[in-house]
Amino acid sequence: MTTRTLPLPSLPIPRWRRPLPGFGLSLGLGLTWLSLVVLLPLLALTIKAAGLGFDGWLRAIQDERVQAALKLSFTASLAAAVIALFAGALIAWVVTRYRFPGRRLLDALVDLPFALPTAVAGIALTAIYSANGWVGRLTEPLGLKIAYTQIGIIIALVFIGLPFAVRTVQPVLEALGREQEEAAASLGASRLTTLRRVILPELLPALLTGFSLAFARALGEYGSVIFIAGNKPYATEIAPLLITIRLEEYDYNGAIAIAALLLFASFVCLLAINAIPLLFAHERRERGR
């Protein structure tokens, strides 16, 4: 006895639809929000800064207090970005390449400066590094004062810049794997040669990006620094704090000039962050030819 199989009814295939509306509407909404939240305030600051004129800029920049604050902000941010880069690369290497108890906890703690309010971070760092703190009571008898000095400012900036370095380098290390290192070792390369010829060329774009992000973040940091800095004019007063002081003194031109300089420096860092991958991609294409 043969059984007949009835043909299954053909169901219409549903047409795939994008979860968001069309390109024009999505682009319009995105640009609108970007303009209202980011571009409009920056444009207003740029127009105000351009309206100062050459004399206004000269008066604002020639102030010795402004020069001292800008010099401190740039030098401390540069030092903190370098320290955060090396420490962040080391932490990313440990978290990526080793398996040990508490690894996930260490990986989660990296993001703590992102979630912690900057004022809370500043108070905590001051409590640790002050004369009565856990670290300060050990270092001050040795003649090393941390809180209310430029060293404390750099430590605070490293604290807030470290996650940028770790999270920029970590994905590259995870994608790199160990095959290239094992191949270099099988060919007789030493650890230093493998690091210099195999690992660093792959990590260099991520390292430069992490450095730029940490530097730009440190340059505009305010909350975590003012508590540990001591805010002494010509000594430990940072540029973002001086902007607030100028506003309280109703010196709007001086505040605009300092803010415009910090904005320009951040914009240069942003251009560098976006240009670095393009430069390395072009170099790899040329090398492939």
3-state secondary structure of 118: helix
| 17 belongs to a structural domain | no
- Whole-angstrom distance, CA of residue 129 vs CA of residue 135: 5
Q: Is residue 46 part of a domain?
A: no
Separation CA 111–CA 167 (nearest Å) = 9
Residue 122 lies in a domain: yes
Residue 101: inside a domain, yes or no? yes
CATH number of the domain that residue 183 is part of: 1.10.3720.10
Number of domains in the chain: 1
Please state, in angstroms and rounded to a whole number, the distance separating the CA atoms of residues 259 and 242.
10
Within a domain: residue 6?
no
Residue 144 belongs to a domain: yes
Element (H, E) at 107: helix 103-109
Please indicate, yes or no, if residue 267 is contained in any of the structural domains.
yes
Q: Please give the distance of CA 145 from its chain centroid, rounded to a whole number.
A: 27
Q: Identify whether 57 is part of a domain.
A: no
Write down the pTM of the prediction: 0.83
The per-residue pLDDT string of the chain (289 residues; one tens digit each, 9 = 90 and over) reads: 555 555 555 556 566 566 666 666 777 777 788 777 777 877 888 888 878 877 877 787 888 999 999 999 999 999 999 999 999 999 999 998 888 888 889 888 999 888 888 889 999 999 999 888 889 898 988 888 999 999 999 999 999 999 999 999 999 888 887 777 777 777 777 778 877 787 888 888 889 889 989 998 999 899 889 999 988 989 999 999 999 998 888 888 888 888 888 888 888 877 877 777 777 666 666 666 6
DSSP states of 197-237: IIIHHHHHHHHHHHHHHHHHHHHT--HHHHHHH---TTTT-
Range of the domain at 284: 70-288
